[in-house]
Structure 1
Amino acid sequence: MGAGIAQVAAAAGHPVKLLDNRPGAAEKAVEGIRAQFAKLAEKGKISAEAAQAAGARLIPVEQLADLADAGLITEAIVENLEAKQKLYADLEAIVGPDCIFGTNTSSISVTAIGAALKRPERLAGLHFFNPAPLMALVEIVSGLATDQAIADTLFATAAAWGKTPVHAKSTPGFIVNRVARPYYAEALRLAQEGAADYATIDAVMREAGGFRMGPFELMDMIGHDVNFAVTNSVWRAFYNDQRFLPSLIQQELVDAGFYGKKSGRGFYDYREGAVRPTPRIEAAQAPVGKITVYGESGAAEALAERLETCSLSFSRAPANDGRIAEIGRAVLAVTDGRSATQRAFETGVANLVLIDLARDYTTAGWLAVAVAEQCEPEAAQAAIGLLQAAGFTVCRLADIPGLAVMRTVAMLANEAADAVNQGVCSATAADSAMRLGVNYPQGPLAWADQVGLPTIRTVLANLGASYGEDRYRISPLIQRQFFAGKKIHD
């Protein structure tokens, strides 16, 4: 990370000094960065002259005293509060009064780091994402004592370096590491309740939700030692708030030393000769029965368009109690956070099949479904056949409230809304951070606006009622905007 930040700054035209406490590490880093500049020149992304000039701006140094003339010092040392406090306290005695301190911490309180300084106002978070040269997002994190002018200078600096900076307040996890927790937590709960195997949930989140990686493969890539530690850190920092509750499944992996790709085993087996499991999809079924599409919701319109494309005849009817389609005796509806079995009982529609949220029902290749316990097997087969005829690869999950994509998006939006409501960041910053920092297909608040706050609120309320847990409490911001008849971004 340190080398990546140095590469970004040197490419932007700054002389950059690199210091490492390991003998020879700074020199090796400089060589590696210069090699990266040479590769960029070979690919035609920068000129040979620019690569040579950028490489010449890198200067390895051996002691803190060599940094006396620095205008900005960024650390990327071990994630330890005392170590960071000592480093910056030592630097205060060396650098000039105008030097800015930009900590690259991903989880430690900027306020706490600054508490050890004589001039904590000069310290702010300058949080890059790995790999720094490629990832666009930089979180500019203000501690309690941070001077706004310092935060603004770092914001402008990151922008001048070609990054997309966002302001954040120093609270646990800042923006990305806080708002991202439900992406892992809801998947882990789905697995713990037997909704489906890891490969199937990953496939649904990628192919229906539009996420670049499924939650289990992403945790394996990050490393469970790291991901679980961040979850625990955020959970403890929020005084054991159930919304951030760590998972026993991940605890077991960490205890076993199954950290993911780095150790050869995680949710998946990466050892030589291991076979990657395939998602479980439904066998082909025939769409038997008269087809009716109800209402004009996004899901209904997309289904109608897909049925027309495959020349399957159907009729249209006005909206009727949330159903989007019927085929024979089967009724299809988009999940509202209740299990299919509960909804079938409460509505009196026994042959109920629920479909999950899709990023775009018109183009999605996969779709998850849940079938009510009361549903006749023939009705479930007909509903699945209808979706297959419309071009969906169908994955049947156990009858879990909210299915996979819908409950995850609702919880991501809820957490982002809470961060905005608590003054951590703006709605625009939250959406930008999640798109650029973790490559979400859409910012969670913009996604909630697209799905509709009434739907998100209903899903959260039903999840809370189903589980009886504070974990699914609805953010005051969502409540307020809903009652005002507004979107989050209004």
Structure 2
Amino acid sequence: MNILIIGDEQNFISLQRKGGLVAHTVERTDSLKGAEALQNRDLVIDLQFDAHPENAAVYAQYPAIPVLAGVVKTSLQTVKKTYGCTLIGCNWLPGFIDMPVTEISLLEAIQQPVLAAIMQQLGWEYELVQDAVGMVTPRVVCMIINEAYMAAETNTASREDIDVAMKLGTNYPMGPFEWSKKIGIKEVYEVLAAVYTATGNERYAISELLEKEARKN
């Protein structure tokens, strides 16, 4: 396949760790500069779509080219309604890109065989989840991080103790503050804000400490 990858060098390196790209013609760019970049492409992987949803207006001009877009802070339904473009939503949030199983959402059942063919060619495992802001894993992980910040706000325990307790008590690979560093606290904040706006659920009301640290970045 002739693949265009849109994203910075760090996230591209994370994507390479998944494997499967060396058998294909791959070009990386920091940003989508126009429709001409899509000519002769078999696949687009947009790692930064959440930050640049306007890219969908360009993708709409080439509906036959599948796009694996990082859609965590919005929903495919919203993208479709705004730009008239049907994408394949992926969890390309930093810290999750190189996970062995990619979390994916679809808007239409007709996309399933297309997705299956792409994943077979790349040799990637995936799991389908419902189209919703925050998807599943990012929503849960960011909520846990938020609760850890709330505990730190009240001096219930130190950050180090909270990380150790979560790893020992729940067998998590990382503690919530370790996760926040890997994802990026600004990303965590933006996911929580998007989910809270979409759901109105107080579980996603953002910790004052977390918001303060996010605004520093």
After TM superposition, the score normalised by the length of structure 1 is 0.35
Match of 1:291 in 2: 3
Match of 1:340 in 2: 76
Unpaired runs of 5+ in structure 1? 1-288, 486-490
- Give runs of aligned pairs for residues 228-243 of structure 1, distance below 5 A: none
Shift of 1:359: 5.8
Instruction: Please tell me whether the aligned partners of residues 384 and 394 of structure 1 are also in contact (alpha carbons under 8 angstroms).
Output: no
Match of 1:324 in 2: 47
Q: State whether structure 2 residue 15 is matched by structure 1 residue 303.
A: yes
Q: State whether structure 2 residue 148 is matched by structure 1 residue 416.
A: yes
Q: Distance in 2 between matches of 1:397 and 1:405?
A: 10
Q: Distance in 2 between matches of 1:331 and 1:460?
A: 25
Partner deviation per Cα, 1:305-339 (whole Å, 9 max, x = no partner): 52334x12222222349922989522222233322
Partner deviation per Cα, 1:258-282 (whole Å, 9 max, x = no partner): xxxxxxxxxxxxxxxxxxxxxxxxx
Q: CA RMSD in A?
A: 3.0
Shift of 1:349: 6.1
Of 85, 95, 106 in structure 2, the residue corresponding to residue 371 of structure 1 is 106
Shift of 1:299: 4.7
Structure 2 letter corresponding to 1:350: C
Q: Distance in 2 between matches of 1:475 and 1:349?
A: 35
- Give runs of aligned pairs for residues 56-455 of structure 1, distance below 5 A: 290-296=2-8, 299-305=11-17, 306-309=19-22, 311-320=23-32, 323-324=46-47, 329-346=65-82, 348=83, 350-356=85-91, 361-362=97-98, 364-372=99-107, 377=110, 381-455=113-187
Shift of 1:361: 3.6
Structure 2 letter corresponding to 1:324: L
The number of equivalent residue pairs is: 191
Secondary structure, aligned partner of 2:133: coil
Shift of 1:483: 1.3
Is the alpha carbon distance of 1:458 and 1:396 closer, same or farther for their aligned partners in structure 2, counting shifts above 3 Å? same
Q: Distance in 2 between matches of 1:475 and 1:457?
A: 9
Q: Distance in 2 between matches of 1:320 and 1:464?
A: 29
Q: Distance in 1 between matches of 2:201 and 2:9?
A: 30
Percent pairwise identity: 23
Bigger Rg, which one: 1
Q: Distance in 2 between matches of 1:355 and 1:308?
A: 17
Q: Distance in 2 between matches of 1:431 and 1:318?
A: 34
Match of 2:215 in 1: 483
Q: Distance in 2 between matches of 1:450 and 1:383?
A: 28
Structure 1 letter corresponding to 2:67: V
Is the alpha carbon distance of 1:343 and 1:475 closer, same or farther for their aligned partners in structure 2, counting shifts above 3 Å? farther
Shift of 1:415: 0.5
Instruction: Please tell me whether the aligned partners of residues 72 and 90 of structure 2 are also in contact (alpha carbons under 8 angstroms).
Output: no
After TM superposition, the score normalised by the length of structure 2 is 0.74
Shift of 1:393: 1.8
Q: Distance in 1 between matches of 2:119 and 2:9?
A: 16
Unpaired runs of 5+ in structure 2? 34-44, 49-58
Q: Distance in 2 between matches of 1:349 and 1:444?
A: 37
Of 186, 190, 196 in structure 2, the residue corresponding to residue 458 of structure 1 is 190
Q: Distance in 2 between matches of 1:449 and 1:433?
A: 17
Q: Distance in 2 between matches of 1:297 and 1:482?
A: 22
Match of 2:39 in 1: none
Instruction: Please tell me whether the aligned partners of residues 107 and 131 of structure 2 are also in contact (alpha carbons under 8 angstroms).
Output: yes
Shift of 1:437: 1.9
Which fold has the larger relative contact order, with Cα–Cα distance below 8 Å and residues 6 or more apart in sequence?
Answer: 2
Q: Distance in 1 between matches of 2:84 and 2:188?
A: 23
Is the alpha carbon distance of 1:297 and 1:418 closer, same or farther for their aligned partners in structure 2, counting shifts above 3 Å? farther
Instruction: Please tell me whether the aligned partners of residues 76 and 89 of structure 2 are also in contact (alpha carbons under 8 angstroms).
Output: yes
Shift of 1:392: 1.9
